[in-house]
Amino acid sequence: MVRVKQDLKDVIFLVKIFAAMRSIFQSWGLQVCFVIALDDAIFRFAYDGGTVQGLREDLEHFEFIFNYNEYWKLRKGEVDALLKGYAELPKEYVDSDLRVGLSHNYLKEFERLNERVNNIEFASIVNEDQDILKQFKSEDDFLLPIQQVGGEDVWTVGQAEEFGRHLKLQSVGGRSSCDDE
């Protein structure tokens, strides 16, 4: 039972990472080909019977996101270790655990990350006061909203969560690639 719970945590972790990558690609305004390529890699594995090794190779095309900041560098090591472990397991185990988990949860998690939030909700997600966020918004490198509705900025949950990670890295002395500009 303990192993099953850990496996579920591993699959949910991978789903969250892949969905967050997809969300970031969209919020950075990257060409749609990055989103399509990530979806293809996930779908090739989850639905078309691709191998774990094939998924690992597909993820190498997204090395730039794993080099974005310390948070993503750590996630790269965790993703590599998990997928390497799955690659050594029997196919039946991978099919019943990882493949089913990805196919059922990847798009649901992306939909959650793509939900729109206003200033108040954004502040709540990043655990910051709205006045502090107003200060950040005045800086040139602050995250651009996905849209404006009635004169109010609107972001995605994924953007807010990524900005929260950026703030945490700064508060613990970590540096993001934004600090290098």
> Model confidence at 175, in pLDDT bands (50, 70, 90)?
very low
Pair 120, 163 in one domain: yes
Pair 100, 157 in one domain: no
Predicted TM-score (pTM) of this structure: 0.65
Pair 57, 16 in one domain: yes
Range of the domain at 145: 116-180
Q: What is the CATH number of the domain that holds 121?
A: 1.10.1660
> Model confidence at 177, in pLDDT bands (50, 70, 90)?
very low
User: Radius of gyration of the chain from Cα atoms?
Assistant: 18
Pair 66, 96 in one domain: yes
Residue 126: what are its φ and ψ, rounded to 5°?
A: -90, 5
Triad 145, 171, 144: Cα angle to 5°: 10
Query: Which tens digit of pLDDT belongs to each residue from 39-62?
Result: 899 999 988 888 899 999 999 888
Across 76-88, average pLDDT:
89
Pair 93, 153 in one domain: no
Pair 19, 97 in one domain: yes
Across 84-92, average pLDDT:
87
Q: What is the mean pLDDT of the chain?
A: 79
Query: Which tens digit of pLDDT belongs to each residue from 123-159?
Result: 888 887 777 777 777 776 667 787 888 888 888 888 8
Rounded percentage of the chain residues whose pLDDT exceeds 70: 83
Pair 79, 160 in one domain: no
Pair 15, 54 in one domain: yes
Q: Look up tokens 């002395």; give the residue.
A: 173
Pair 78, 159 in one domain: no
Pair 107, 28 in one domain: yes
Pair 71, 127 in one domain: no
Pair 135, 56 in one domain: no
Total domains present in the chain: 2
CA 58/CA 44 separation, integer angstroms: 10
CA 21/CA 38 separation, integer angstroms: 8
